[in-house]
Chain A
Amino acid sequence: GEDVEQSLFLSVREGDSSVINCTYTDSSSTYLYWYKQEPGAGLQLLTYIFSNMDMKQDQRLTVLLNKKDKHLSLRIADTQTGDSAIYFCAESIGGTGTASKLTFGTGTRLQVTL
């Protein structure tokens, strides 16, 4: 079955880069996502990558996908205190319209220190 794993905690200093890692087990994943959860709020989509891509960049965010190793990472450049949150990796199996097959990781809590 599907399993998505993340480390539970990451601490970085303001201005440094953060790298949050995720491993997944199902090679038939079609989309992989990063969601952000701020305290007391729901999850918000940060970015996603289609499985035939290796990299996607969006302003301070860079997503790298290594399909061979089933490894996904999220790099946040110039990390700010407002980036402190829990970050969830998720995978979608199957094509469009198959949101029912979304599997989430346990979440990585990012703490940004001054």
Chain B
Amino acid sequence: EAQVTQNPRYLITVTGKKLTVTCSQNMNHEYMSWYRQDPGLGLRQIYYSMNVEVTDKGDVPEGYKVSRKEKRNFPLILESPSPNQTSLYFCASSSSLGANVLTFGAGSRLTVL
């Protein structure tokens, strides 16, 4: 089944404790992206990657890092999480061809205390 898999789905952590949210896709998509969803703000893009070793900032990149060493994986790294990073995070991918249709993961709900 074609899908985007994120882990963990739920995480409660404390301020300053580094964490990584993994994202993997099995569709051979070139493009991958991370979004955060907050009430009343919709989805805001954090980082995106057009292909292996090519990453760029989205609208809200502060406090996050990403890497794209392999085509299928695009982890999101929070080096020193803060409470304002409490949110619902989505990874998405799409092909470089066609209508830019994104396939989303199921989401990772992160709480930073």
Contacts and interface: CB of A to CB of B under 8 A. Distances in A.
Contacts, number: 72
B59 to A, nearest CB: 9
A106 B100 contact: no
A21 B13 CA distance: 38
B43 interface: yes
A96 B100 contact: yes
What is the size category of the interface that chain B forms with chain A? 20 to 34
B81 interface: no
Interface residues of A, number: 25
A82 interface: no
Interface string B45-80: 100101000001010000000000000000000000
A104 B100 CA distance: 13
B99 A31 contact: yes
A88 B104 CA distance: 13
A100 B100 CA distance: 9
15 contacts: A31-B100, A40-B106, A41-B106, A42-B104, A42-B107, A44-B104, A45-B103, A96-B100, A97-B96, A99-B96, A100-B31, A100-B58, A106-B40, A106-B42, A107-B42
